């Protein structure tokens, strides 16, 4: 083996899910990107959507451990996505309510009696 050869982990379902999870977390800004890239919520959403496709396409074909890993990963990433979405929105201006009147509105005079 040369010094440039890397030991790669086995290609497993667990490694696939965890790889996609880390990619999503990096794009959500939870971890610094190794290449210095900035967080990108749209790429994070796409990665989460890929995991959801994987979940749908493998339904009924996973071990209990694999299913739990995928379900828990999606639940956590979706929660983090909502947090990141709310944090990235500009603050909404407070609704301006007209000042309340200090005096009650004038009462209409009762109709004049004809009698």
* Confidence (pLDDT) at 80: 96
Does a structural domain hold residue 106?
Answer: no
Predicted confidence at residue 58, as pLDDT, reads 97
Q: Residue 36: what pLDDT?
A: 82
- How many DSSP H helices and E strands does the chain contain? 3, 0
Residue 75 confidence (pLDDT): 97
Residue 76 included in any domain: yes
**Position 68 in a domain:** yes
Structural domain contains residue 47: yes
In b/e form, how buried is each residue of 12-46, taking b as 16+ CB within 10 angstroms? ebeeebeebbebbbbbbbeeeeeeeeebeeeebbe
Domain range enclosing 43: 13-88
Domain count, the chain: 1
**Residue 94 belongs to a domain:** no
User: Would you give per-residue pLDDT tens digits along the chain (115 residues)?
Assistant: 556 678 888 999 999 999 999 999 999 999 888 888 888 999 999 999 999 999 999 999 999 999 999 999 999 999 999 999 998 776 666 665 555 555 555 555 555 555 5
Looking up tokens 């999870």, which residue turns up?
21
State pTM to two decimals: 0.71
């Amino acid at each position: 083996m040369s010094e440039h050869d890397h030991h790669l982990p086995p290609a497993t379902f667990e490694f696939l899910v965890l790889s996609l999870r880390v990619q999503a977390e990096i794009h959500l800004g939870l971890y610094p990107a190794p290449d210095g890239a900035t967080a990108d919520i749209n790429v994070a959403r796409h990665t989460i959507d890929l995991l959801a496709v994987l979940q749908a396409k493998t339904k009924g074909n996973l071990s209990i451990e694999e299913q739990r890993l995928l379900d828990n990963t999606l639940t956590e990433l979706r929660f983090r996505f909502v947090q990141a979405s709310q944090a990235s929105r500009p603050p909404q201006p407070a609704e301006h309510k007209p000042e309340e009147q200090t005096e009650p509105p004038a009462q209409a005079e009762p109709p004049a009696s004809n009698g």
